[in-house]
Each structure stands twice: as structure tokens, then as C-alpha cells.
């Protein structure tokens, strides 16, 4: 990238991601002849690449007419999308993938740019990562992927976690294909649960959680037990307070909300009461150090955590003496439990819808899925099992005294949680 005197980008000189399949760059050097050397990792192997500037104009027979697929991603960690693009081009010689990343600007600015393009009938052929899915679907800006699946005999939905796919549906139609996902859950102090004779079944809601919080010190006010560590970020708590019922409180068709209703105000008052009276006044999430044996969480019932991969069991498993996790509460009116996902959609104005669908299928392949950033669960079942088996094996080879040695039964608890996720955030 070439920059001006105040650091603003002026011109892209070279993008190695468009030339080579590279996941990690360790070092880069440019010599006096403007030859570029890159020490990188490709396919889990170190490589030294050399790029030479070509000033000669290429002549010869006219090449086959090329189609250009424009793909927008906000960020491309480990160059997964870039490497997938190069792989796709190697199998489709007449198609060029123009992958554009946008993490040099803020997410809000990116969304504004994308909105302007999409609403004027332009925009990329494929949108990946995060974008206003509901709004685009409502305005008819996205292709219903059910139609692509229906006519594609090579696509077997049983190769993927179908309930995660269905969680991306808008009005029963599939406008976005999840590529990977992660979710939040509670790590449970099972010893305290048994002592206080507390149970939370599969269908518990936030109101049930509030009632449990009240019960903790009911029989001995001198005891000090808490439902959560100190809440410092109300925004993240809103997910399990009312976001799961957001489709009940908001009528998206006529753009009205029930935020002044007695029911909604009661929920917010319960949250305020729980935050004030039943959460730890001084133990924060940042105070929980799993490298220490005296973590101050014995009097805390639930610790909320964002779960982004099976290996987090090993990292978080020593929080309590017994490993137990619980899904976030479901919505009282919608039964929703949200998850987060990098998704992919096809622009309804694209001239190359079939080609765009082929690229999305490549993103779902075992090879590409296995190369995704490790802090994600994978949609492809074979890739997910491969990664799961890898971590189960490696924890015994690299013994970390601060990590919990987890078992297949522990993994089933994670599966229990994400099997109950039913809507994309």
C-alpha cells in the first residue's frame, strides 16, 4: 500500500493474498530492485516467496472471457477467504474472484458503504461476515438460497449442522448460509447448585434465572452467594435478558415496539434488581485467573462465557471442580437462543448467482473449513470432528498445568448447549 504524507492510503501496490495461498506472514522485505520477499506459512508449512515486478505487456491470443465475482468481507483472518478465492480460481479458469476487505475502516462506516451500494442496485456478488441480514432480506436484496440448494444435487445438507443453518432463516427462507459460529453459555458451580437445591431445566427463561438469584441467600441472609460476577457491561447482558424475545417486543413489519409495556418494564426492573442485589459487588470477570488455584468464584453460581471452540473447554474447565455448562435462557415468547456466525449471502442483482453459490459451497468444504480461525465452531461436520479429535489428542501431548483435560462427555455438554441455539444474532 502506498500512503501520503499524513498516513492516508493512496494506492495499492501489491496484495499478496491475490497472488498466493498464505495463512500467516512472518516477515517481509523489499530489495533495491523492488523485488518482494515474504516469509510465510502456507498449508501448515513455512515458505519463502519472491515476487518480481513485471513491466512487460503480455501479448498473444485473446484469453477466454473472464467472469468477475466481487466478494466483500469485513476482515479476513488467516487469509481464509483469500486462499479459498485462489483455490476457486484454480478450478474455474474463467472466473476471477475480486475479494475486498474493509477492516481498515470502522464497522459502522463499512455498513454505511455497503448499504449505499446495495440499495442502489450495485454491491458485491457475495457478502460475507456481518451485515444487516434482516433488512436486506426484507428489501429483496438477497437470493433465497433454498432455491440454489433445491436444484443442486451435489449439495447434501446432512453434511452440515442443519439446525445452525435453519437458525439463519428469515421468515422461513434461507438468505444467508452460516460459515462458522460461536455462542455464549454459563459455566456452572454445580457444587453450589446441589447445596442450594437449585435446578434449571432445558426450558428456563430469564425470569427463572431471576428467581434462582433470589433463592441463593433466602434461608440464611448472612450468607453471601451471587448469581454472577460483577456486571460491567450491560450491553452483553441484554442478550439473555430480552434479546431472545426481540421478535416479540418488536413488530418488524410495521416498525412498532412494546418497550413501554408493563411486561417489558418488569423484565428491566428484574434485571436491575438482579444486577444490584444478586451479583458480586467486587469480583469481576477480569479477576478470574484460571492459572491460580484460589479463584474467588466459589460463592458465584454462574459465570457467563463466550464459547468459540472445543479447546476452550481446556482453558475454562478448571473454573470449578466439576465441568458443567448451561445454555443461556431461552426467550419466553419465541423460544430463541441466539448464536453468532460468519455468514455468506448472494446479491439478488448478481449476474453470476450460480458461480457465487459454487464459491459459498467451497467455503463450506472440509478443506476450507479446517483452515478457519481456531476460535470458531465449524459448520461442516467432518471438519468439526477433525478439529475436535485434534484438540483431544494434543492436550495429552502438550500438557498444560493450567488447563483441564477434557473428555468426549465434556464435549457433549457443549453440543447440548449449541443444539439449543435457534436464531442468528
What pLDDT, in 10s, does the model give residues 283-319?
Answer: 888 777 666 666 678 899 999 988 888 878 887 888 8
Is residue 59 predicted with pLDDT exceeding 50?
no
Q: Where are the CATH 3.40.190.10 domain residues in the chain?
A: 68-181+340-389
**225 pLDDT exceeds 60?**
yes
One of 3.30.70, 3.40.190, 2.60.40, 1.20.120 is the CATH number of 183-335+401-424, namely 3.40.190
Q: What is the pTM of this model?
A: 0.83
Report which of residues 86 and 418 the model is more confident about.
86
Q: How confident is the model at residue 61 (pLDDT cuts 50, 70, 90)?
A: very low
**Residue 22 confidence (pLDDT) above 70:** no
Position 58 pLDDT exceeds 90? no
Instruction: Select the more confidently predicted residue: 130 or 100.
Output: 100
Range in 15-29, 66-80, 101-115, 321-335 with the lowest mean pLDDT: 15-29
Task: Of 220-229, 248-257, 369-378, give the range with the top mean pLDDT.
Answer: 248-257
3-state secondary structure the chain: CEECCCCCEEECCCCHHHCCCCCEEEEEEECCCCCEEEEEEECCEEEEEEECCCCCCCCCCCCCCCEEEEEEECCCHHHHHHHHHHHHHHHCCCEEEEEEECCCCCHHHHHHHHHHHHHCCCCCCEEEECCCHHHHHHCCCECCHHHHHHHCCCCCHHHECHHHHHCCCECCECCCEEEEEEEEEEEECHHHHHHCCCCCCCCCCHHHHHHHHHHCCCCCCCCCCECECCCCCHHHHHHHHCHHHHHHHEECCCCEECCCCHHHHHHHHHHHHHHHHCECCCCCHHHCCCCCCCCCCCCECEEEEEECCCCHHHHHCCCCCCCCEEECCCCCCCCCCEEEEEEEEEECCCCCHHHHHHHHHHHCCHHHHHCCCCCCEECEHHHHHHHHHHHHHHHHHCCCCCCCCCCHHHHHHHHHHHCCCCEEC
Superfamily of domain 68-181+340-389: Periplasmic binding protein-like II (3.40.190.10)
Q: Does the pLDDT value for residue 62 go beyond 50? A: no
Amino acid at each position: 500500500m502506498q500512503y501520503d504524507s499524513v498516513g492516508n492510503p493512496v494506492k495499492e501496490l501489491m496484495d499478496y493474498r491475490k497472488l498466493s495461498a498464505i495463512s500467516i506472514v512472518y516477515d517481509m522485505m523489499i530489495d533495491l530492485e523492488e523485488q518482494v520477499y515474504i516469509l510465510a506459512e502456507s498449508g501448515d508449512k513455512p515458505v519463502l516467496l519472491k515476487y518480481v515486478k513485471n513491466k512487460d505487456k503480455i501479448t498473444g491470443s485473446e484469453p477466454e472471457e473472464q467472469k468477475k465475482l466481487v466478494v466483500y468481507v469485513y476482515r479476513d483472518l488467516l487469509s481464509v477467504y483469500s486462499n479459498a478465492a485462489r483455490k476457486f480460481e484454480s478450478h474455474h479458469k474463467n472466473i476471477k474472484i475480486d475479494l475486498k476487505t474493509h477492516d481498515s475502516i470502522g464497522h459502522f462506516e463499512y455498513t454505511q458503504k455497503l448499504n449505499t451500494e446495495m440499495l442502489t442496485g450495485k454491491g458485491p456478488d457475495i457478502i460475507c461476515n456481518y451485515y444487516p441480514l434482516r433488512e436486506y432480506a426484507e428489501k429483496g436484496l438477497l437470493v433465497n438460497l433454498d432455491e440454489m440448494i433445491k436444484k443442486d444435487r451435489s449439495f447434501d445438507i446432512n453434511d452440515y449442522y442443519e439446525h445452525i443453518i435453519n437458525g439463519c432463516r428469515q421468515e422461513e427462507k434461507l438468505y444467508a448460509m452460516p460459515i462458522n459460529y460461536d455462542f455464549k453459555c454459563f459455566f456452572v458451580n454445580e457444587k453450589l447448585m446441589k447445596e442450594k437445591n437449585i435446578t434449571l431445566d432445558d426450558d428456563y427463561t430469564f425470569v427463572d434465572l431471576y428467581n434462582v438469584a433470589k433463592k441463593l441467600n433466602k434461608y440464611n441472609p448472612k450468607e453471601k452467594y451471587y448469581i454472577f460476577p460483577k456486571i460491567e457491561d450491560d450491553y452483553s447482558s441484554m442478550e439473555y435478558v430480552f434479546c431472545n424475545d426481540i421478535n416479540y417486543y418488536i413488530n418488524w413489519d410495521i416498525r412498532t415496539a412494546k418497550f413501554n409495556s408493563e411486561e417489558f418494564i418488569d423484565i428491566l426492573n428484574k434485571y436491575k434488581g438482579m444486577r444490584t442485589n444478586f451479583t458480586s459487588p467486587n469480583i469481576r470477570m477480569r479477576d478470574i485467573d484460571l492459572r491460580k488455584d484460589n479463584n474467588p468464584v466459589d460463592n458465584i453460581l454462574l459465570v457467563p462465557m463466550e464459547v468459540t471452540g472445543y479447546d476452550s473447554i481446556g482453558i475454562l474447565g478448571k473454573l470449578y471442580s466439576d465441568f458443567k455448562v448451561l445454555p443461556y435462557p431461552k426467550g419466553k415468547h419465541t423460544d430463541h437462543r441466539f448464536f453468532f456466525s460468519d455468514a455468506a449471502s448472494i446479491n439478488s442483482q448478481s449476474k453470476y448467482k450460480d458461480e457465487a453459490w459454487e464459491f459459498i459451497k467451497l467455503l463450506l468444504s472440509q478443506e476450507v473449513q479446517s483452515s478457519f480461525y481456531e476460535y470458531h465452531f465449524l459448520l461442516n461436520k467432518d471438519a468439526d470432528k477433525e478439529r475436535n479429535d485434534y484438540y483431544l489428542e494434543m492436550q495429552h501431548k502438550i500438557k498444560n498445568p493450567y488447563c483441564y483435560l477434557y473428555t468426549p462427555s465434556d464435549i457433549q455438554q457443549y453440543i447440548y448447549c449449541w443444539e439449543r441455539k435457534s436464531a442468528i444474532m
